[in-house]
Chains A and B, each alone.
Chain A
Amino acid sequence: MSFLSVKNLTLRLRDNRAPLLRDVSLEVSAGEVHGLVGESGAGKSMIGKAVLGILPRAVEIAGGEIWLDGVDLLTLPPAARRKRVGGLAALIPQDPLTALNPSRRIGPQITDRLVDILGWKRTEAEARALDLLGEVQINDPARVMRQYPHELSGGMRQRILIASAFAAEPKLIVADEPTTALDVTVQKQILRLIAGMQARHGTALLFVTHDLGVVSKVCQSLSVLYAGRILEQSTVRDFFAAPTHPYSAALLGATPKYTDPEGSLTPVPEAIIARLRAEIAAYDEAHHG
Chain B
Amino acid sequence: MADLTDGRGAVKRRIGTRLWLAGGWLTLLLLAAVFAPLVAPQDPLAQDLFLTRLPPFWEEGAEAGYWLGTDSLGRDVLSRIIYGARLALVVALVAGSITCLIGSALGLMAGFLRGWVDLVISRLIDIWMAFPPVLFSILLIAVIGPGLHSIILAIVIIDWTRFARVVRAEAMAQGAMDYVASAQVAGRGRIGTMLREILPNVLPTIVVLLTLEMGIAVIVEAILSFVNLSISTDDPTWGGMIAEGRASVYQAWWVLVFPLITLFLTVLAFSQLGEGLKDRFDPVLR
Contact = CB atoms under 8 A, between A and B. Distances in A.
Interface of A: 49, 52-54, 57, 79, 82-83, 85-87, 89-91, 93-95, 98-104, 109, 112-113, 116-118, 148, 150, 161, 164, 168
B179 A113 contact: no
Interface string B178-193: 1101111111110010
Nearest to A81: B187
B179 A98 contact: yes
Given A98-B177, A99-B178, A103-B283, A82 B201 contact: no
A83 B187 contact: yes
Contacts of B197: 101
Nearest to B186: A113
A118 B186 CA distance: 9
6 contacts: A52-B181, A82-B189, A93-B178, A98-B179, A101-B179, A113-B187
B37 interface: no
Given A57-B114, A91-B181, A100-B179, A148 B283 contact: yes
A82 B187 contact: yes
A117 B186 contact: yes
A103 B200 contact: yes
Contact of A95 (B178, B183, B196): B178
B203 interface: yes
A135 B60 CA distance: 81
A93 B181 contact: yes
Contact of B189 (A79, A91, A93, A101): A79
Given A54-B181, A98-B178, A103-B203, 12 more contacts: A53-B185, A82-B188, A83-B187, A86-B185, A89-B185, A93-B178, A101-B183, A103-B201, A113-B186, A117-B188, A161-B182, A164-B182
A101 B201 contact: yes
B283 A91 contact: no
Interface string B259-286: 0000000000000000000000001100
A169 B114 CA distance: 32
Nearest to B286: A148
A103 B203 CA distance: 10
A227 to B, nearest CB: 24
Contacts of B115: 57
Contacts of A53: 184-185
A83 B192 CA distance: 13
Contacts of B184: 52-54, 82
Nearest to A93: B178
Contacts of A86: 185-188
B187 A117 contact: yes
Contacts of A112: 196
Given A148-B283, A150-B283, A99 B187 contact: no
B188 A102 contact: no
B203 to A, nearest CB: 7
A118 B181 CA distance: 18
A81 to B, nearest CB: 10
Nearest to B179: A101
B283 A102 contact: yes
Q: Which of B179, B182, B188 has the most CB of A within 10 A?
A: B182
Contacts of A113: 183, 186-188
A52 B187 CA distance: 10
B284 A99 contact: no
Contact of B177 (A82, A99, A164): A99
Nearest to B184: A54
3 A-B pairs closest in CB distance:
A86-B187, A99-B178, A113-B186
Contacts of A148: 283-284
